[in-house]
């Protein structure tokens, strides 16, 4: 285990510790010859700066904090979401010398604001990435904003001015999916809405309407059923839609959990997917590819979004200059087996 300090390097290289510090931090104003001497000494001693010391001296930690809704708190099968977020943040952390501190929390807990305040005060991260649906709660956003630590919100429903946001184009891709279904010849495309608190998901409903209009299809209240993002609500909605005398030939659900539920219900009712019914979802959860028929959906760029957000928080990137505003990362249509020509 290396115990070399900056002093050792300075001694070996025959320069002052400050010069070593400059080289390590890639500051300008060091003569090439000097830089080389120092780099040689660093390599020789296998020196690596002590993070605690630099953080103390610079009064900032080389840490990015990712805050998300704890999936284990509700047995959600959405761990894929968390993993993808972590991936994105990690990519940037790795390349910029930051570490990732993860903090799942439960938004139902009244203490969560306080909890985050304490977290930030303790860890003093360089920035916080706040994932949806947490990014929708004013209580939580305010708590973080109050600490003065830079933060970026992921897919919040409403954009507050003066804050940085990375979002996806929910409305546009929902329209795209709707147009795709229409292009298959479907005339009766039903929609299962998401949880009203989850704003990004509700934008998809607007997109659905856009898509209908763009395809010259009429909108009908009859074809819309409310869901709340859960598998159970998807089942209930599917029952409602599929037991009708004149059932829709396609069902577009605001998220994959509900879409999977629709496929399950269709199976129980003996309705063939995609032969008699096309089903589409949103998110591209892991399960989407594993079920049969594999679900047509929209891959959310979670990992890329997290990456962009982290770049905004990391020192020395062009992204970190952005004072505020929204960056949009587009979702991607994934056509699989659950959709087909209208019967």
Partner DNA sequence: AAACTTTTTGACAGCGTTGTCAACAATTCG
Partner DNA sequence: CGAATTGTTGACAACGCTGTCAAAAAGTTT
Closest residue by Cα to residue 157 from 185, 135, 190: 135
Give the footprint of DNA on residues 22-51 (CB under 7 A).
Answer: 22, 24-25, 28-31, 33-34, 47, 49-50
For its own copies, give the closer residue by CB, 25 or 50: 50
Question: Does 43 sit near its own copies (CB under 8 A)?
Answer: no
Q: Which option in its own copies, DNA, none does residue 17 bind, with CB closer than 5 to 8 A by kind?
A: DNA
Residue 13 CA to residue 7 CA, distance in Å, equals 10
Closest residue by Cα to residue 200 from 286, 136, 284, 295: 136
Query: Rounded to the nearest whole angstrom, what is the least distance from the CB of residue 60 to its own copies in the complex?
Result: 9
Question: Does 292 sit near its own copies (CB under 8 A)?
Answer: yes
Question: Does 16 sit near DNA (CB under 7 A)?
Answer: yes
**221, exposed or middle or buried, with CB in 10 Å at 0-12, 13-18, 19+?**
exposed
Long-range contacts of 268-276 (CB under 8 A, 24+ apart): 269/242, 269/243, 271/242, 273/338, 274/337, 274/338, 274/339, 274/340, 275/340, 275/343, 276/249, 276/343
Report CA 66 to chain centroid distance, whole Å: 10
Residue 164 bridge partners (DSSP): 152, 325
Residue 140 CA to residue 243 CA, distance in Å, equals 42
Query: Rounded to the nearest whole angstrom, what is the least distance from the CB of residue 107 to DNA in the complex?
Result: 30
Question: Does 148 sit near its own copies (CB under 8 A)?
Answer: yes
For DNA, give the closer residue by CB, 35 or 91: 35
**Token representation of residue 214:** 């763009």
Q: Which option in its own copies, DNA, none does residue 31 bind, with CB closer than 5 to 8 A by kind?
A: DNA
Query: Rounded to the nearest whole angstrom, what is the least distance from the CB of residue 290 to its own copies in the complex?
Result: 6
**Token representation of residue 114:** 């306080």
Question: Does 146 sit near its own copies (CB under 8 A)?
Answer: yes
Stretch touching DNA by CB under 7 A, among 52-60, 182-190, 236-244, 261-269: 52-60
Q: Contact with its own copies (CB under 8 A): which of 240, 264, 299, 336?
A: 264
| Residue 165, φ and ψ in degrees, nearest 5 | -140, 140
Q: Contact with its own copies (CB under 8 A): which of 8, 23, 86, 225?
A: 86
Give the footprint of its own copies on this chain (CB under 8 A).
1-2, 48-53, 55-56, 61, 71-72, 77, 79-80, 82-84, 86-87, 90, 97, 99-102, 104, 118, 121-124, 146-149, 260, 264, 286-287, 290, 292
């Amino acid at each position: 285990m290396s115990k070399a300090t900056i002093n050792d390097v300075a001694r070996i290289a025959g320069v002052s510790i400050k010069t070593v510090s400059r080289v390590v931090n890639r500051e300008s104003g060091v003569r090439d010859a000097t830089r080389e001497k120092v780099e040689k000494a660093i390599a020789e001693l296998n020196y690596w700066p002590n993070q605690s010391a630099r953080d103390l001296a610079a009064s900032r930690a080389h840490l990015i904090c990712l805050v998300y809704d704890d999936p284990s708190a509700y047995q959600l099968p959405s761990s894929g979401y968390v993993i993808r977020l972590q991936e994105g943040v990690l990519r940037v952390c790795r390349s910029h010398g930051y570490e990732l501190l993860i903090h799942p929390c439960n938004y139902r807990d009244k203490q969560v604001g306080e909890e985050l305040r304490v977290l930030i005060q303790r860890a003093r991260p360089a920035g916080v990435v706040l994932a949806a649906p947490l990014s929708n709660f004013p209580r939580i956003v305010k708590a973080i904003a109050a600490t003065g630590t830079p933060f970026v919100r992921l897919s919040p429903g409403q954009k507050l001015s003066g804050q940085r946001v990375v979002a996806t184009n929910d409305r546009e891709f929902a329209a795209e999916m709707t147009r795709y279904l229409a292009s298959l010849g479907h005339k009766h495309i039903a929609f299962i809405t998401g949880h009203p608190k989850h704003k990004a998901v509700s934008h998809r409903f607007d997109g659905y309407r856009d898509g209908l209009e763009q395809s010259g299809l009429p909108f009908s209240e009859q074809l819309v059923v409310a869901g709340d993002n859960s598998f159970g609500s998807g089942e209930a909605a599917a029952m409602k839609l599929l037991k009708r005398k004149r059932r829709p030939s396609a069902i577009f659900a605001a998220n994959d959990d509900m879409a999977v539920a629709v496929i399950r219900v269709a199976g129980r009712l003996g309705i063939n997917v995609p032969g008699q019914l096309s089903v589409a979802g949103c998110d591209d959860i892991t399960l989407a590819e594993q079920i049969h028929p594999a679900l047509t959906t929209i891959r959310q760029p979670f990992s890329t979004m997290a990456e962009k957000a982290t770049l905004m928080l990391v020192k020395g990137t062009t992204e970190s200059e952005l004072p505020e505003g929204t960056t949009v990362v587009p979702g991607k249509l994934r056509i699989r087996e659950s959709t087909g020509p209208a019967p």
